[in-house]
Amino acid sequence: MAIHAQNRWIKRKSLAGKRHPLKNGEVFKWVVKRLVRGWSPEQISGRMKLVFKADLKMRICPETIYSFVYSNEFKCRKFWEYFPRGHRVRRKWHGRKVISVSIPYRISIHERPEVVNQNLEFGHFEGDSVEGRNHKSAVHTEVERFSRMYFALKVEKISSGEALRAQERIFSGLPVRSVTLDNGRENHLHFNLEKLGIKTYFADPYSSWQRGSNEYHNGLFRRYFPKKTDFAEITQEEIDDCVEEINNTPRKCLGYYTPYEVFLAKLNNKRVAIQPRM
């Protein structure tokens, strides 16, 4: 017992001399600046290591940031409101309710190749629509699964014609191999994408988690444009600004590179070895 007590005392003494990461002014400013941009503690910590590889003083773990956000001293600043989901506590994401229709030439997600399922190949997308107020306006969204690059384009309404036109504009000039969709009525004309060499797959009804990347990104999009937003009053430029912010936020699953960096590298047939942005 005496030995254990002594070891604990030695550990406390060694920690006592260590400076708290947030007492480093540069670390503090770096963290706060990115919190208000909507970055998660994991993204902040991981990106800091990537940007400041040689500077060991520029280090902070995610739990330290969480403790800082919820501490009595800083809780009044409500930094938690800037977290990617915008909630004080984590909530389950159930996705948009889909009106299922009979879709011609439908191919199930269960027939999708493993190379797509495992995110091993660039050029596979997930598509969806974000509804506006009273279902009278909408935004069509697509996510490239490998890079997590997000695209969003205004449409007049949720319809098969509008969805197809949006996809043709988004996919123009890109090496698109496949797109996975839900069973909504707006995807009725999906077979027209096959004419462009794009395979289409469909998730099971009421299984939005099978298109998790798109659902997650639509959740981020909703931080900027909450439910009941009338997209008829929102410009494409405003949507583009939101999408740019999302695509320039680092991701843990990408080694804390951003979707934009990975997407650009893949388009140029390069491995991700580019200078990370601040």
The pLDDT of residue 153 is 97
Question: In the predicted model, what is the mean pLDDT of residues 61-66?
Answer: 86
Q: Specify whether 126 is located in the same domain as 238.
A: yes
Q: Specify whether 115 is located in the same domain as 248.
A: yes
> Is residue 92 included in any domain, yes or no?
no
| Greatest mean pLDDT range, 44-53, 99-108, 243-252 | 243-252
> Is residue 227 included in any domain, yes or no?
yes
Contact assessment for residue 180 and residue 127, using Cβ atoms and an 8 Å cutoff = yes
Question: In the predicted model, what is the mean pLDDT of residues 35-51?
Answer: 85
> Is residue 274 included in any domain, yes or no?
no
Q: Specify whether 189 is located in the same domain as 139.
A: yes
- Quick one: pLDDT band at residue 171, thresholds 50, 70, 90? very high
Edge-to-edge, what's the strand order for the sheet holding 149-155? 149-155, 138-144, 124-131, 178-181, 199-202
pLDDT digits (tens, 9 = 90+) for 206-240: 778 889 899 999 999 999 999 889 999 999 999 99
- To which residue do tokens 């996510």 refer? 143
Q: Specify whether 259 is located in the same domain as 159.
A: yes
What type of residue sits at position 250?
P
Residue 253: which CATH number?
Answer: 3.30.420.10
Q: Specify whether 75 is located in the same domain as 181.
A: no
Last residue of a domain, one of 63, 82, 101: 82
> Is residue 159 included in any domain, yes or no?
yes
Q: Specify whether 120 is located in the same domain as 222.
A: yes
Question: In the predicted model, what is the mean pLDDT of residues 243-247?
Answer: 97
Q: Specify whether 54 is located in the same domain as 142.
A: no
Question: Residue 100 carries which DSSP code?
Answer: B
Q: Total structural domains in the chain?
A: 2
Name the residue range of residue 128's domain: 109-268
Q: Specify whether 141 is located in the same domain as 222.
A: yes
| Greatest mean pLDDT range, 68-77, 79-88, 213-222 | 213-222
Q: What is the DSSP string of 157-211?
A: SS-HHHHHHHHHHHHTTS---EEEE-SBGGGTTTHHHHTTT-EEEEPPTT-GGGG
> Is residue 275 included in any domain, yes or no?
no
Residue 64 has pLDDT above 50, yes or no: yes
Residue 199's CB is within 10 A of a number of other CB atoms, namely 18
Which position has the higher pLDDT, 198 or 11?
Answer: 198
> Is residue 97 included in any domain, yes or no?
no
